[in-house]
């Protein structure tokens, strides 16, 4: 039994926008190219860009749901951000941080630590996992959550990298410790992804409008998707087969 890739996504600035791709080339031991290259540290953060640190050090959708409605486009060293409540912004995260901080300020709750700087760690994306990970999500599991809640949901709530369909719901949880092939690349499945309040926010509006965590808890867990490590690099395209090895 095998599935197929339905969509590919990257998030150039952690928690600040998503971008759809039709193909991507993976590198062993690395995150998806262009994914979580930068992260936005807040005033209470201990992040200095020298090493990976946990998500608690960054501004994110779990604390600031309006961030979930950002779209992003990465071109070379520039990022363009779109949000329904803000004018479009194109800037260079490495050198034009003030423009971004002014742009994002109205989207941040007044009772949360304010965003203060953008950081990057050379050589890896700032994923939620300590290791450079790729997140894999099952469309069948997403449909099950929709059915549980009785409404349509955007897959963008889950901020996954690689989406696939054609396999049973929660099939991905049975892959832990195994290898899978997608297109030219081979991945090792390392762990399930435990979800947070960010998934309750509508990616079109940034308003919290769906109890995704409550739906997941009906299966006695709060997990959606799995984290994988790239073992063998290569190009992946939408439509490529997902095969357990």
| Domain of residue 127, residue span | 3-244
Residue 21's CB is within 10 A of a number of other CB atoms, namely 18
The three-point CA angle 77-80-86 to 5° equals 150
Q: 207: pLDDT confidence band, cut at 50, 70 and 90? A: very high
**For the residues 119-137, what does the mean pLDDT come to?**
95
CATH code for the domain of 166: 2.40.33.20
Q: What is the mean pLDDT of the chain?
A: 96
Considering the chain, what percentage of its residues have pLDDT values greater than 70? Answer: 100
Q: E-assigned strands of the chain?
A: 3-10, 19-21, 23-26, 39-42, 71-75, 78-83, 86-91, 115-119, 134-138, 162-165, 179-182, 185-194, 223-232, 234-237, 241-244
Q: Give the model's pLDDT for residue 233.
A: 98
Nearest to 155 by CA among 68, 30, 230: 68
Q: What is the domain count for the chain?
A: 1
Check pLDDT > 90 for residue 95.
yes
Q: Give the model's pLDDT for residue 2.
A: 82
Model confidence over 157-173: pLDDT tens digits?
A: 999 999 999 999 999 99
Q: 1: pLDDT confidence band, cut at 50, 70 and 90? A: confident
Model confidence over 180-205: pLDDT tens digits?
A: 999 999 999 999 999 999 999 999 99
């Amino acid at each position: 039994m095998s599935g197929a890739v339905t969509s590919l996504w990257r998030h150039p600035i952690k928690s600040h926008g998503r971008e759809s791709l039709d193909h991507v080339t993976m590198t062993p031991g690395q995150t998806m190219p262009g994914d979580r290259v930068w992260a936005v540290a807040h005033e209470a953060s201990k992040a200095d860009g020298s090493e990976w640190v946990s998500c608690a050090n960054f501004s994110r959708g779990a604390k600031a749901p309006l961030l979930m409605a950002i779209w992003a486009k990465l071109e070379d060293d520039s990022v363009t951000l779109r949000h329904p409540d803000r004018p479009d912004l194109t800037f260079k995260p490495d050198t034009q941080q003030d423009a971004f901080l002014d742009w994002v300020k109205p989207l941040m709750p007044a009772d949360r630590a304010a965003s203060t700087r953008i950081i990057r760690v050379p050589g890896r994306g700032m994923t939620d996992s300590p290791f450079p990970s790729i997140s894999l999500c099952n469309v069948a599991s997403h449909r099950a959550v929709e059915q549980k809640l009785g409404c349509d949901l955007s897959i963008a709530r889950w901020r996954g990298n690689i989406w696939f369909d054609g396999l049973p719901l929660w099939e991905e949880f049975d892959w832990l410790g195994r290898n899978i092939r997608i297109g030219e690349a081979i991945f090792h499945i390392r762990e399930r992804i435990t979800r947070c309040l960010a998934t309750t926010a509508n990616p079109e509006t940034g308003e919290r409008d769906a109890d995704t965590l409550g739906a997941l808890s009906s299966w006695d867990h709060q997990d959606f998707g799995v984290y994988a490590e790239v073992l063998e690099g290569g190009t992946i395209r939408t439509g490529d087969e997902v095969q357990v090895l």
